[in-house]
């Protein structure tokens, strides 16, 4: 979630800091060579540091574009994965330590390429039978030119105090970022809207409201133990409770935190003590893939139940805007 004051309201006069930081970013970017792909590149990004739901949105986008007949490839850096790429991710052979947990999620859906260098990854995809490239993150990276920018915002966090890192959570000023945006997806949360959303609504009109729908197997025990290292696990806890489950113990991990033997053992013991089923997310469980069946991690993999995450949004409006903006013709 970042430093607490990042999400607090600050006096408007402090925003002058952004002009100086934007200038430094501009100078840095002047020396970066930019590449225009032969294919259309759709970027799913955010304004702020950290997780905001980019990967679920990128997966949703691939799903709805595929239904319309487009052949999509997802390109991402493979955060915390050791492989540089470019390479095609194989859910059956690769581990999260090699390509990152998010890459494994995308690989379950279709063609996924990991490349630390996005331009090299893009050139690799151009040789494949693909219509569109979906870029998971990389909105602020100038090396690869994007044809359509889809920005994800959470209603309870907004854009924080509107200051650029390290004084706030922004990667660049909103004034600069807004100029590149084609559409904003605002995920509605049960908490009160963050004050900074009023700024977004004032200066940008193309916003689609969306919500996460979490489904839990009704046959699981009423008492459950939850472990998760998603960006905001408290929202997961809230949604599980809305599925008529009682969360008697929760292990809230850091985003992308590794699940080691000690932690896996602790979760299993708590589950046994409370006679409770174990619930986690797809993103968390892929970190356990490849674990020895006799290890605690292997046992946790077997015992874990995945909470299914769906996205509800106006897909027709989104698809039409993408097709019109990119002059796409369905096959």
Torsion (CA) 160, 166, 171, 177 in degrees, nearest 10: 70
For residue 134, the model assigns a pLDDT of: 98
Low-confidence ranges of the chain (pLDDT < 50): 1
Question: Which CATH number is 45's domain given?
Answer: 3.40.50
Question: pLDDT at position 269, please?
Answer: 95
Residues 53 and 165 in one domain: yes
Secondary structure E strands in the chain: 40-45, 72-76, 87-88, 112-114, 132-136, 148-154, 183-187, 207-215, 223-228, 246-252, 277-280, 304-306, 308-312
Q: Which residue has the tokens 């609504």?
A: 201
Same-domain status, 207 and 286: no
* Residue 113 shares a structural domain with residue 246: no
Looking at the structure, do residues 180 and 282 belong to the same domain, yes or no? no
237 and 187 assigned to the same domain: no
20 burial (CB, 10 Å; 0-12 / 13-18 / 19+) is exposed
User: What is the rounded (10 degree) CA torsion for 167, 172, 174, 175?
Assistant: 120
Look at residues 210, 87, 65, 207 and name the one whose alpha carbon lies nearest to residue 134: 65
pLDDT in tens, 198-230: 888 888 889 999 988 889 998 999 999 999 987
Diameter of the chain measured on Cα atoms: 59
Strands (DSSP E) contained in 143-182 are 148-154
For residue 50, the Cα-to-chain-centroid distance in whole angstroms is: 9
Task: Let me know whether 27 and 176 are in one domain.
Answer: yes
Residue 331 lies in a domain: no
User: Is 283 a domain residue?
Assistant: yes
- DSSP for 51-71 reads -SSHHHHHHHHHHHHHHTT--
In a domain, 24, yes or no: yes
Q: Provide the phi-psi class of 281: left if phi over 0, else alpha when psi is between -120 and 50, else beta.
A: beta
- Looking up tokens 């004034």 gives 175
Joined tokens for residue 309: 């995450």
Residue 119 tokens, joined: 């331009």
- Could you tell me if 190 and 255 lie in one domain? no
Same domain as 184, residue 48: yes
Determine the number of helices (DSSP H) and then strands (DSSP E) in the chain. 12, 13
Same-domain pairing of 59 and 170: yes
CB 278 within 8 A of CB 304: yes
Number of domains in the chain: 2
Domain, as residue range, for 47: 4-211+315-326
- Could you give the count of Cα atoms lying within 13 Å of 224 in the half-sphere of its Cβ? 30
Q: Is 76 domain-assigned?
A: yes
Contact 96, 102 (CB under 8 A): no
Give yes or no for a contact between 85 and 98, defined as CB atoms under 8 angstroms apart: no
Cβ-in-10-Å burial (0-12, 13-18, 19+) of 195 comes to middle
Res 51: pLDDT:
73
Under 8 Å between Cβ of 171 and 47 = yes
Query: Nearest CA to 65 among 138, 148, 126, 163?
Result: 148
């Amino acid at each position: 979630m970042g430093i607490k004051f990042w999400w607090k309201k600050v006096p408007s006069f402090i925003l002058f800091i952004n002009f100086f930081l934007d200038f430094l970013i501009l100078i840095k970017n002047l020396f970066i060579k930019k590449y225009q792909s032969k294919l259309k590149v759709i970027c799913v990004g955010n304004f702020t540091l950290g997780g905001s739901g980019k990967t679920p949105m990128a997966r949703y986008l691939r799903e709805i574009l595929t239904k319309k007949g487009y052949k999509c490839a997802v390109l991402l850096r493979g955060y915390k994965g050791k492989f540089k790429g470019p390479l095609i991710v194989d859910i059956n052979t690769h581990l999260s330590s090699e390509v990152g947990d998010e890459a494994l999620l995308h690989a379950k859906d279709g063609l996924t390429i990991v490349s630390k260098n996005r331009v090299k990854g893009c050139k690799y995809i151009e040789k494949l039978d693909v219509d569109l490239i979906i870029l998971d993150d990389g909105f602020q990276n100038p090396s690869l030119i994007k044809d359509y920018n889809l920005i994800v915002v959470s209603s309870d966090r907004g854009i924080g105090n509107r200051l650029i890192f390290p004084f706030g959570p922004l990667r660049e000023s909103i004034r600069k970022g807004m100029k590149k945006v084609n559409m904003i997806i605002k995920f509605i949360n049960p908490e009160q809207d963050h004050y900074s959303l009023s700024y977004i609504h004032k200066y940008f009109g193309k916003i689609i409201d969306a919500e996460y729908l979490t489904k839990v197997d009704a046959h699981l025990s009423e008492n459950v133990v939850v472990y998760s290292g998603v960006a905001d696990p408290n929202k997961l806890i809230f949604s599980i409770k809305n599925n008529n489950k009682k969360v008697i113990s929760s292990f809230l991990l850091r985003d992308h935190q590794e699940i080691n033997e000690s932690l896996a053992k602790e979760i299993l013991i708590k589950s046994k003590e409370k006679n409770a089923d174990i619930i986690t997310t797809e993103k968390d469980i892929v970190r356990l893939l490849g674990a020895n069946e006799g290890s605690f991690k292997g046992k946790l993999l077997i015992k874990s139940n995945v909470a299914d995450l769906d996205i509800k949004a106006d897909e027709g409006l989104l698809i039409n805007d993408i097709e019109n903006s990119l002059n796409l013709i369905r096959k």
